[in-house]
Amino acid sequence: MKYLTEYRDGEKAIRLADEIARLISQPWAIMEVCGGQTHSIIRNGIDQILPDQIEMIHGPGCPVCVTPLEVIDKALAIASRPEVIFCSFGDMLRVPGSQDDLFRIKGDGGDVRVVYSPLDAVRIARENPEKEVVFLAIGFETTAPANAMAVKVARDQNLCNFSALVSHVLVPPAIEAIMNSPGNRVNAFLAAGHVCCVTGFAAYPILCEKYKVPIVVTGFEPLDLLEGIRRTVSQLENGEAYVENAYPRVVSEQGNVAAQAVIDEVFEVTDRGWRGIGVIPHSGWRLTEAYRQFDAEIKFTVSDIQTCESTMCRAGDVLKGAIKPNECEAFGKECTPRNPLGATMVSGEGACAAYYNYGRFVQLDAK
C-alpha cells in the first residue's frame, strides 16, 4: 500500500539505525511528543535497535491521557442526566473518573453513544430536538478543526440542544512546560506530524532558540521515526538546534490554513489543566464568547467539580517523562487494561497501554 509498506522496510530500518550509531558520540535523551509515535516505537522495537546512548522519553502527547480527571467527572455528571444524549469517541468510554466511567454510566441506563465524527453528534441533536446532545470535545490541535466545525454548524442550524464539553490542549506550551520542569533531561523533541499538518510549525523555532533543543517534525511509521531520530542526532552532535521537517509528504510550514481559520473563529486560547501534570498557562482552547452558548460546562453548571488523583497511579510521572510505565509499582498488577488506574493504561495511544500490550513488563538496563 502506497505510503505505508515502504515505510516499514526492516532492512532499511536497520541501515538507518546503523547510520545513527555512526553519528552518535555521547548520550542523548529524545522525547517523542505523540502517543501514536510511542506505540509505533514500542510495537516495532525501535528503541531496542537504537544505540545504547539514545534514550527515548515518552511525552504527554496522548489526548485521552492528558484530559484532566475533573473533565471526566464533569462528563460523567452530564451523561448521568436523563435528558442528555452524551456522545464521545470510543476511546474515552473506559477512562476512569473518580468513581465511574462512561461505560458504567451507559450500563446504568445513561444514553451514551460512540460517534466517529463530531458532526454525528450534530446530526443526533437535529434528530432528537427533545433531548440535550453533548459532545466530549478533547484532543490536541489535530481534532480541533472538526470539533470547531461541529459547533459552527450547530450555531448555523440553530441547534440550541447541542453543546460541547471542551478540553483541547496545545503542544508548544507543553514543550515549554517540560523544558522548565525540575529535573528535565530532554535534549530534543520529535514533533507530532498530524498536529503540524493542521498548525504548521511556525510556533517551534522560538522554542528551539530559547531552549537550544532540536525539534524534528516526524511521522508515525518505523522509517519515519528512525529518520526523525537520525536528523535529531545529527543536530545534537553538531551543536545545532532548529526545526526540521522530516514528514514533508504530509506537513508544510504553513499547515492547513482553512482549518486554522475555523479554529480561530470558534476557539480562543486559555489556561488548561493536564491530567497528572497540572495547569499549563495558555495551553488550551475554549469556546469564544460568540459560541459560549454551546459550552456544556456552563449549560449544565458543572464548572465547580473538583477531584483528587489516585495516590497509587503515577500516570503524571509517565506523561512528564520522569519514569517509564514499567517503573510504576502498580503497572501490570493493580493497574491493567481491564482494571486501569489511569488513562495512560486505557487509551489506544497511552504509554502504559503500549508497554502492557507489547510485553514490556521488565525494566531493561538504562541506556
pLDDT in tens, 216-235: 999 999 999 999 999 999 99
Q: DSSP states of 12-57 as a string?
A: HHHHHHHHHHHH--S-EEEEEEEHHHHHHHHHTTHHHHS-TTEEEE
Provide mean pLDDT across the span 146-150: 98
State which H helix or E strand residue 60 sits in: strand 54-61
Q: What is the dihedral of CA 315, 317, 322, 324, to 10 degrees?
A: -20
Asked whether the beta carbons of 247 and 215 are under 8 A apart, the reply is no
Q: What is the pLDDT of residue 144?
A: 97
C-alpha cell of residue 314 = 503515577
Q: In the prediction, which pLDDT does 150 show? A: 98
pLDDT band at 63 (very low <50, low <70, confident <90, very high): confident
% of the chain exceeding 90 in pLDDT: 78
Q: Which of 42-51, 310-319, 354-363 has the highest mean pLDDT?
A: 42-51
Give me the residue label for grid cell 489526548. 63
Strands of the sheet with 162-169, listed across from one edge:
111-114, 84-88, 132-139, 162-169, 278-287, 267-274
Instruction: Average the pLDDT over 344-356 and give the result.
Output: 90
When pLDDT is averaged across residues 258-275 and rounded to a whole number, the result is 95
What is the CATH code for 65-170+255-299? 3.40.50.11740
Q: Is the pLDDT of residue 2 over 50?
A: yes
pLDDT at 127 over 80: yes
Tens of pLDDT along 267-308? 999 999 988 778 999 999 999 999 999 999 999 988 777 777
Which of 111-125, 184-198, 290-304, 339-353 has the least mean pLDDT? Answer: 339-353
Distance CA 181, CA 356 (A): 27
The stretch 29-35 carries a mean pLDDT of 95
Whole-number Å distance between alpha carbons of 226 and 50: 9
Higher pLDDT: 313 or 258? It is: 258
- For residue 261, the SS3 value is helix
Using 50, 70 and 90 to split pLDDT, how confident is the model at 363?
Answer: low
The per-residue pLDDT for 152 is 98
User: Strand 54-61 to strand 28-34: parallel, antiparallel, or no bridges (unpaired)?
Assistant: parallel
Name the least confident of 70-74, 101-105, 169-173, 305-309: 305-309
Q: pLDDT by residue (tens digit) across 166-216? A: 999 999 999 999 999 888 999 999 999 999 999 999 999 999 999 999 999
Write down how long the chain is: 367
Amino acid at 361: F
pLDDT at 364: 55
Element (H, E) at 233: helix 222-237
| pTM, 2 dp | 0.91
As beta bridge partners, residue 226 has none
Domain ranges of the chain: 65-170+255-299
Q: What is the DSSP letter of 47?
A: H
Query: Tell me: the pLDDT tens digits for 321-334?
Result: 889 999 999 999 99
Residue 307's pLDDT is what?
76
Could you tell me the three cell numbers for 23? 553519528
- pLDDT for res 366: 44
pLDDT at 1: 53
What 3-state DSSP class applies to 124? helix
| CA distance to 65, 121, 192, 349, per residue, from 199 (Å) | 21, 25, 11, 21
Amino acid identity of residue 345, one-letter, is M
The secondary element (H helix, E strand) that includes residue 32 is strand 28-34
The rounded distance, in Å, linking the Cα atoms of 197 and 200 is 6
Residue 365 has pLDDT above 60, yes or no: no
**Where does the pLDDT of residue 343 fall: very low under 50, low under 70, confident under 90, or very high at 90 and above?**
confident
Report the chain's mean pLDDT, rounded to a whole number.
93
